Each structure stands twice: as C-alpha cells, then as structure tokens.
Structure 1
Amino acid sequence: MEEIDSMSGIQFETVLSHLLRSEGYDVKRTPKSGDYGADLVLRKGSDVIVVQAKRSSNNIGISAVNEIVGASGYYKANKRWVITNQFYTNAAIVQAHKNKVKLLDRDDLILMLRHYNKNSIKRKPILKDISKEKTNLWR
C-alpha cells in the first residue's frame, strides 16, 4: 500500500482501471477536467457505474460522495461508487448511505489487489505493471 499511497491521482485511477477490467467491467476514463464528478465509468451487463477515485493522505469527506451523486445523473448511471486508499468520515458514510453510494475503503482496496494478484499468476503483479506505464496514454 505504500506504493499506492505515494501515487498521483491519475496513477491511482490507472490502477483501479486495471483492477476493474480484470473483474469484467468495461472501463472508460473521464477527462482530466470537466468530468462532472466521476473519474471512471464502468459498464457490466445492464449496470452503468460511476466511480470517484480518491487517492489521499487523509480520510475522505462528504464532498466525494456529493460529487459522485451529481455525476450519476450526467452519466445516466444506476450505481455510484467511491474508492479510496484511506477511510471515510462519519459524515461521508451517512451521506453515502442516504444516497445509495457504495464506499470502498483501504481494506477493500487491499482485498481487490490481493484478488487481482492471486488470479493473475501468468501476469506480473499489478503495481509493477502500472509503474512502467505512461499514465497519459490512459486518458
């Protein structure tokens, strides 16, 4: 997790893109600016999921939840997620519950990384793959 904790936000989005693709999601990156509150748009079956990716050194507050709620209308999503390398404030948890936003925290991210690496025996671990990529190619 130290490597993730030191990444830029764009690098973190790239890691999440790989993780989610490995789980069968079609992943689209939103523009660097003017993204209407979403960093990733996922599609799987009939689901359209907007994701706010928050790589931070602090716990994530209510604004991330509010952003993804707003993004869901713009992208016509039926599910909303916020994924972070940290944890959430109580206000963010309450707001997420009221607005049906799925919060994935540091512990969930660790499980996602372990699952990816466990099921990727023929591939290199994800963090080594990502660190060699040019993140601007993912936009």
Structure 2
Amino acid sequence: MLGIFNAAILIVIIVAGIVLFILSKKKPQYSHNEVIDPLKITIKDIDQMADGSEFEEYLYRLFLALGYKDAYKTQGSRDFGADLVFTDREGYRNVVQAKRYSNPVGLGAVQEVYGSMRYYRAKRSMVISSNQYTSACEELAGYNAVKLHNRSDLINIIDLFKSGEINKAKDIIESEPRIILDSWDNYMNNNKVIKKDFKAEKRLVAKK
C-alpha cells in the first residue's frame, strides 16, 4: 500500500514539474504599464500582443530609438485617424496609422490616416501593418499617395534596427509611396467607368 502511495506522489511531482517547465517557457505578454524595449521585440512578439495599443506603443518606442526625436504617440481616443506623428529627415511631418491585424488591412486605414493630415499639419501619411493589404486599400492609397508598409517591410525595419543599420531602416520608413497618376482628362479619354448605384436612381425615378 505504501508503495502505491509513494508512486502516486512521484507521478504528481513529475506532472507538476512538467507544468512548471511549460509555464516557464511561455513568454509573458507585455502589460500596458511596462515600457516596451524595441530591441527585445520580434515579429512573433508583435503577433502575440494583447491589442493594437501595444503595437502603437511599440512603434512609438521604435521611432524614438531610430532617432526621430520629435516622434510622439497620439491620444488613445480622439486621435483623428493618426496613431503616431514624426518628422522625417527631409523635415516633413508624417502621420502614421498602426494596424496589428490578423487579416489583410482594408481601405478604412487609408481613409483614417489621410483624413488626419490636415489636423496634424502633416505633409505625408503612411500605414504600418503586421499583415498585408486588400486590393481596394492599395488602390485608394495609390490615388492619395499614402505609403503602405506591409509585414515584410516591418520585418526588414526591425532587422535593420537591431543590426544597427539605422539609416537603412529609415530609408524603408521614408520611402516614396506607390502613386496612381490618373488625371481627370485620363478618366475621360480612357472612358473609365465610375460605378453607380443604379438601383438608387431607379428608386428616385419611381418616386417621381
């Protein structure tokens, strides 16, 4: 009987040891009260962040570490579409929309950051995401000269920063956006179709 009791205790001790080992290997998430060190953050850490506000905080700390001394994070509420503001090496003020998404980012991000430019007196705007972008988002960004940094760009920026290649990291951040140069004349000459809501027009005619 004593042998069975000792065996049961041994099993409990082994199981407890395994549980403690697993817990010790699990990385704790950063709390909102903890100062995020960008040198310690990887893309996997970003994927595991609790919410978007931690990603915004990370980008703020990263931009300061890159030497953007006037970078600041906007208020959590009433930010008017920008999460971060900084001045680039050419002296232009930039507004940034941060998106830590598990799915591709939609055109709302472009609408928000582009709409914030006049409020913050910014010359340039960009979105930085841990994912990719929808085709509609890329198209709208192209027409409004909004720079889209995707997951690959973010990883490259992180790697260059950690290897001390600060200027190369800044080159990516400050790179020119993809611009769609379609003038009003081109719309007419190319007979580009603007989609209309014909059902609404029919309802209006029926009402008359």
TM-score, scaled relative to structure 2: 0.55
Alignment of 1:23 onto 2:61: no
3-state SS in 2 of match to 1:12: helix
Q: Quick one: which of 95, 100, 108 aligns to 2:153?
A: 108
Q: Give distance in 1, aligned partners of 2:60 and 2:108.
A: 22
Q: Give distance in 1, aligned partners of 2:135 and 2:54.
A: 27
Contact 1:19/1:112, CA 8 A, preserved across alignment = no
Q: Give distance in 1, aligned partners of 2:158 and 2:114.
A: 26
Q: Give distance in 1, aligned partners of 2:57 and 2:104.
A: 21
Please state how far the C-alpha of 1:73 moved relative to its aligned partner: 1.0
Q: Give distance in 2, aligned partners of 1:115 and 1:46.
A: 22
Contact 1:47/1:78, CA 8 A, preserved across alignment = yes
Structure with greater proportional strand content: 1
1:32 aligns with 76
3-state SS in 2 of match to 1:73: coil
Q: Quick one: which of 118, 136, 139 aligns to 2:163?
A: 118
Contact 1:49/1:80, CA 8 A, preserved across alignment = yes
Please state how far the C-alpha of 1:90 moved relative to its aligned partner: 0.3
3-state SS in 1 of match to 2:118: helix
Contact 1:84/1:109, CA 8 A, preserved across alignment = yes
Please state how far the C-alpha of 1:46 moved relative to its aligned partner: 2.0
Please state how far the C-alpha of 1:10 moved relative to its aligned partner: 1.5
Letter of the 1:29 counterpart: K
Letter of the 1:16 counterpart: L
Letter of the 2:78 counterpart: G
3-state SS in 2 of match to 1:21: helix
RMSD of equivalent CA atoms: 1.3
Q: Which has the higher contact order (CA 8 A, sep 6+)?
A: 1
Q: How does 1:91-106 map to 2 (within 5 A)?
A: 91-106=136-151
Please state how far the C-alpha of 1:100 moved relative to its aligned partner: 0.4
Contact 1:27/1:40, CA 8 A, preserved across alignment = yes
Alignment of 1:86 onto 2:136: no
3-state SS in 2 of match to 1:74: coil
Unaligned runs of 5+ residues in structure 1 are: 121-139
Alignment of 1:60 onto 2:105: yes
Identity %: 41
How many residues matched?
A: 120
1:32-88 superposed Cα distances (whole Å, 9 cap, x missing partner): 000000000112352100000001111000000000010011101000010000000
Letter of the 1:101 counterpart: V
The structure 1 segments of at least 4 consecutive aligned residues displaced by more than 6 Å after TM superposition are none
Alignment of 1:12 onto 2:42: no
2:91 aligns with 46
TM-score, scaled relative to structure 1: 0.82
